[in-house]
Amino acid sequence: MRKYILPLVLLTGLLVTACGYHNPYVYSGPDKNLYVANWRNRTNDLLLDAKIYQSLVRWYQKSGSIKVVKEKDGAHLILAGEIVSIDLPSLSYGSGNDATEVRILLTVRYILKDIESGEVLLEIPNEVWSEEYKVGTSSSENSDNEIEALKTIIDDLSEKIYIKTLGILSKQNA
């Protein structure tokens, strides 16, 4: 029985590596410097642009080959965006015609550009993100629920941009 284990392990390893599996969270091409511009914020949530910036930086720090730089000079790529709007429409109502569930709708647009060639690598002109949350019994609970829902949207948005960037750069280097 033991003599079959090593060949089985080797065969399994060969199959996994031969299947074309690619981890979307890994970019192993040449190092790139990314300048993340401050996003224009058209909402009255004054810190929303800073929250998106911080979330994007956290995601890009996961890559050993992409470094977020503070200056545009010396950067290979630029990521710029705009927070177009944030809306809070009610979804469902309770017995007293009070809202019991609210959805945050965050509308953004963004662009990823190769600075050296001027090529637009990714351009999303209008993207709407949504997250629902329950209306609480107090205004502080509502505020906490809204903050948590917005945090989820920002993290999901940042993750998507990060993964798309890795995919684009990986295709360029294939």
Question: For residue range 61-119, what is the model confidence (pLDDT) as tens digits?
Answer: 988 899 999 999 999 999 999 999 999 876 555 555 566 788 899 999 999 999 999 99
Establish if 105 belongs to a structural domain. Answer: yes
Number of compact structural domains in the chain? 1
Handedness of CA 14, 16, 22, 23 (dihedral sign): negative
Residue 2 lies in a domain: no
So what's the pLDDT on residue 140?
Answer: 76
Q: Is residue 156 part of a domain?
A: yes
Domain of residue 105, CATH code? 3.30.160.150
Backbone angles phi, psi at 21, to 5 degrees: -60, 135
Domain hosting residue 157, numbered range: 25-172
Its pTM stands at 0.80
Residue 9 maps to a domain: no
Give the Cα-Cα-Cα angle 139, 140, 144 (nearest 5 degrees). 115
